Structure 1
Amino acid sequence: MKLNTRFARFWKLLGPGLVTGASDDDPSGIATYSQAGAGFGLSTLWTALIAFPLMAAIQQMCARIGLVTKQGLTGTLKKHYPRPVLYLMLVFSFPAIVMNIGADIAGMGAVGNLLFPTIDQSYFSVLFTLVLLGLIIYLPYAKIAAILKYLCIVMLVYFIVPFLYKQDVGEIITATFIPKIEFTKEYIAILVGILGTTISPYLFFWQASVEVEEMNVHKKLMVNKRIIQEMEQDVDFGMGFSGFVMYFIILTTGTVLYKSGIHQIDTVEQAALALKPLAGDMAYLLFAVGIIGTGLIAIPVLSGSLSYIFTETFGWEQGLNKKFHEAKGFYSIIAFSLLLGLSLNYIGITPIDALIYTAILYGMTAPVLIAIILHISNNKEIMGDNTNSKLSNVLGFTALIIMTLAAAALLYFEFMA
């Protein structure tokens, strides 16, 4: 009984951080991790250990900004920074997030077709889009948050899949703790892709804004140390959960696909389909179900973050806890982003193209946003006594340097090499 009580208390503690972490492993992210595993075996496993503290540090800063200022990251940018910076973020964020949504919808539709081959993937894409749109518009924030939270359980399937195939434990341990870097265009490109997928700008905006939603729902008027500590535990768990999912997807594809000579994976459905004859029907089924589950988590986060950016920029009513007639602009942007994302599949932009364009746009905006987040988090006029610790700054500046190098490498490989 005592164990059940502790678990219930811990589960109640989890919220925005868990959902943010889970949404980071969206179908587009799974495609990137699958490409890393299939193309390079286990040689990128170590990136999960590097990415976790950097992700956690940045997301904690964003969450703290939301808690302390009681407004999202966009609202803080609008209040304390020149308008051109804000509009620049808007210009880059809109197409990147819409293309990310489009790639995720296409991935879910394709996997739906794998599970039910008699139904065309376009029907599944439309169905998932309409279901998500209905749930987001008609359910209050508390119920949406609860559904997203429980959907995270679906992602536990990725912790099972690798063990349905014979593994070399010694090789896994070595690849996890001893980095192996290949100085080739392809390897550096996949490292950049992994970093861009794990440290994505849309998560920064979502984390800050959804913390404000949580404060409003639970009627928390003042921020104290207990609230900050609970937020940090939530974010740490969420980012850790995200890192584990990433780790096990690379592990699965790096052992099953790579060792079987399948080195080219372009889409999530290709990864799922390739697993079937090699690891069995159960591994294939679990991998596929996980893709749909992650899409159902990630797309509301993607569309929600875009809507928060727009509504805070223009001062419109906002919030997932408001009804449609109370925040028409907010929900209209969510609907528009979902429908526009869906339409990409019909105008010639393939999921692969969408992933490449998204990575470029995210890569260009992430360093700028991280620098701004670091500046805000160390500004006593904005944050009061809740400025960054030394450890947060070390991790934050490390993330800034790495993401800047990653952005430069991405642009070089795309346009110069």
Structure 2
Amino acid sequence: MKKFGPGLLVAAAFIGPGTITTASVAGANFGYTLLWALLFSVIATILLQTMAARLALVSGQGLAPALRANINQPLLKYLAIFLVISAIGIGSAAYEAGNLSGASLGLQGLFGQHTGSIWTPVIALISALLLYSGKYKLIERTLIFLVGVMSLVFIATMVLAQPSLSDLFAGFKPSLPTDSLTTVLALIGTTIVPYNLFLHSGVIAREDTRQQEVDQAIRAHNWDTGLSVGLGGLITLAIVATASVAFFGQQTGALNAATMAKQLEPLLGTYAQYFFAIGLFAAGLTSAITAPLAGAYAVCGMLGAKDKVEDTRFKLVAIAILVFGTVVASLGLDPVAVIIFAQASNALLLPIVCIYLLWLLNNKAVMGQYKNSWFVNLLSLPVIIIVIGLSAYKLVSLL
């Protein structure tokens, strides 16, 4: 456990209600055949997040301040500020409603549907108190605990479902079943999340690496990122495998994070609903905390404000994102227009940020002796190509 640290915030951020739904649908519709896409997305996420972490350790800046400091052309700088605030700030607010609703659905599964109206404001209040406390260690420990709960619940569920190991390993051989492209891209897109690059680098930039060797710090964070994102991938794999055993080849009707628990009862017994609900609650709450954090790191960093958890303006941005999500979730409003805008902004931002991150990591003036090796650049090329393709597909589908 000593190897784990800020990287677990990345896992906490991308394992949310949306990931549970995407993984459930992938397993139910295509069995194990899309596990190769999950493996690719985990490797790509580890690669991108370790680069963002190294940038923060060497330069002492998160990704947002680094973008602001190193884009010298005024028009490009303002465009970058607009895109980051649109995609990460507004995007986090738009998706926050889904995170709070997911956590609320988990508690409804535990305490009954009639309790539904009270949980969203309660969860929002807990998240707000954590964020406004300004105590990073408290936030980090809470998220580590919740990721632990998720891991136990979903991996134990997979073990109880008893998937075929030979079929499971066969799923890592690339194939593209009919009508599976959208699900493949959804699996990749729900893991490679642009706001995690801002969140991870922002958290690491707060560390004081002057008291330790940079080499040692980079190695420690590489371990942390690899183990944490790998654990997130294992949780997603567990959900895919469970859905595959329970639903593949059957007529299950509508399947999502909320209904899956109930539909698992024939396979896992009457306690399945409560067991899965705990995992859904943990997934929703972790994302409900990390989305405002990521949005605040991005917005404050791009505007030149202090991107520190303790800073009042940072707290206000995070709380504003949380309040927007709470209002939408509590009042049952339909944030479709905001979500479409956020998705379009994310689709534009992700390849730009990935390419610019790669440029920064090859810039000797920024990274010195810690710039990318030719091997890391070679590994990055297919990731960048897939990210560009994913973003283009998302933009076309939105249009």
What is the TM-score normalised by the length of structure 1? 0.88
Q: Quote the residue 1:209 is aligned against.
A: 202
Q: Distance in 2 between matches of 1:80 and 1:35?
A: 41
TM-align CA RMSD: 2.1
2:196 aligned with 1:200:
no
Aligned to 1:5: none
The structural deviation recorded for 1:79 is: 0.4
Partner of 2:313: 329
1:367 and 2:351 aligned: yes
The answer to whether the 8 A contact 1:108-1:291 is kept is yes
Question: Is 2:257 the partner of 1:268?
Answer: yes
Contact 2:296 2:315 in 1 (8 A): yes
Q: Distance in 1 between matches of 2:33 and 2:25?
A: 12
User: What amino acid maps onto 1:283 in structure 2?
Assistant: A
What's 1:343 paired with? 327
Map 1:14-413 → 2, pairs under 5 A: 14-81=4-71, 82-83=76-77, 84-117=79-112, 119-138=114-133, 140-156=135-151, 157-175=153-171, 177-184=172-179, 187-213=180-206, 215-216=207-208, 220-221=210-211, 224-262=214-252, 264-265=254-255, 267-320=256-309, 322=310, 327-345=311-329, 346=331, 348-349=333-334, 359-413=343-397
C-alpha distance in structure 2 between counterparts of 1:357 and 1:262, whole Å: 32
Q: TM-score, normalized by length of structure 2?
A: 0.92
C-alpha distance in 2 between matches for 1:398 and 1:359: 23
Cα pair distance change 1:85/1:226, threshold 3 Å: same
Identity %: 23
Q: Could you tell me how far 1:35 is from its partner in structure 2?
A: 1.8
- Greater mean deviation of Cα atoms: 202-211 or 295-304: 295-304
Distance in 2 (alpha carbons) for counterparts of 1:51 and 1:406: 12
In structure 1, what is the Cα distance between the partners aligned to 2:162 and 2:370?
A: 48
Gaps of 5+ in 2: none
C-alpha separation in 2, matches of 1:44 and 1:211: 33
Q: Which amino acid aligns with 2:111?
A: F
Alignment check: 8 A CA contact 1:370 1:396 kept: no
Could you say if the C-alpha distance between residues 392 and 286 of structure 1 is closer, same or farther in structure 2, counting changes exceeding 3 Å? farther
Gap change, CA 1:255 and 1:354, over 3 Å in 2: farther
Instruction: Report the Cα offset of residue 410 of structure 1.
Output: 2.4
> Partners of 1:78 and 1:408 in 2: how far apart?
25
Separation in structure 1 between the aligned mates of residue 250 and residue 273 of structure 2, nearest angstrom: 15
How many equivalent residue pairs? Answer: 392
Change (3 A) 1:263 1:223: farther
Instruction: String of CA shifts for 1:158-187, please: whole Å, max 9, x gaps.
Output: 111022224333222222x32220243xx1
DSSP-derived class of the 2:259 partner: helix
